[in-house]
Amino acid sequence: MKKILFMLLLISLIISGCSIDKTVDDNIGKAVSDAILTDNEEGYLSGECRGEGHIILKTEEKNDIVIVYAQTMYGEYGFQNDNFVKISGSGNIPAVIEFKKKNNKLSLYSFKYPKDGADYVKSIKEMFPLTLQTKVLYPSDKDLEELSKQERVYAQNYLKSIGREAKIGDYGDFEHNLLTDVGVPVEVSNKILKYKELSKYPDYIGTQEFIENGERCIYRTSYNKEENKVIFSKIGPPKESSAYAEYYEVDGTTGELLKK
């Protein structure tokens, strides 16, 4: 009899551990989105568009505090070689987010991610209920796809808002020819990356765009094989202008900055 009761209890725990609380109202979903965007603001290399994805696993309410257990993702998007690329951000990161509830309105109270490295598993066990720990520690491909899909909706909406079409993806989804791919020695390439004047230029052959003072600027890195020079040029507004806002040449053999 005791064995049967134990098995029933075990089955009950497994079932509850696989279930996800989906009875969450839209206000909490919007509050979680805003919290992720706010918490990650200025935490990564800035792009033109910021996006997030989240999956709410469970919510609890204690007095005037609403606790949300979630999987989250954050990304900053910018144009590289005319593609709209996630230039910085995170992968899937579980989070525990708390909101204060007053007059049916939610305000962010605390936002907590697990610790990195060797303390990751321990902090997950401290932060999340037992029934969620396996799901959080071993996220499914389906969940990762859903997080990325939600994040890219922000990118899609942004492209529509500026009337521009582009492929959307992660850095690894697109080909990037590095300086070393065209024959520049590794040590020279590394030296070039240290010049402060060139910090905004792509470390690959091609273009990267930024919005500066409300205007679009295009930073281009190219390679002149005949002269063995790496050329860095910036086109500022207006885009049609033939004059460069900046122009640099670097010796492809020594890494010496030749012209400013």
**13 domain-assigned:** no
| Domain co-membership, 148 together with 196 | no
- H or E element, residue 162: helix 141-162
| Domain co-membership, 246 together with 181 | yes
- H or E element, residue 9: helix 2-18
Partners of 178 in the β-ladder: 204
End-of-domain residue from the set 110, 143, 170: 170
Range of the domain at 224: 176-259
**54 domain-assigned:** yes
| Domain co-membership, 105 together with 208 | no
When divided into structural domains, the chain yields a total of 2
CB atoms within 10 A of CB 104: 7
Q: How many degrees, rounded to 5, is the angle at CA 78 between CA 73 and CA 80? A: 125
| Domain co-membership, 129 together with 204 | no
End-of-domain residue from the set 153, 170, 187: 170
**195 domain-assigned:** yes
As given in the structure block, the two tokens for residue 255 are 């890494």
pLDDT per residue rounded down to tens, the chain (260 residues): 444 433 433 333 333 333 333 333 458 999 999 999 999 998 998 999 999 999 999 999 998 999 999 999 999 999 999 999 999 999 999 999 999 998 888 999 999 999 999 999 999 999 999 999 999 999 999 999 999 999 999 999 999 999 999 999 999 999 999 999 999 999 999 999 899 999 999 999 999 999 998 899 999 999 999 999 999 999 987 555 567 889 999 999 999 998 66
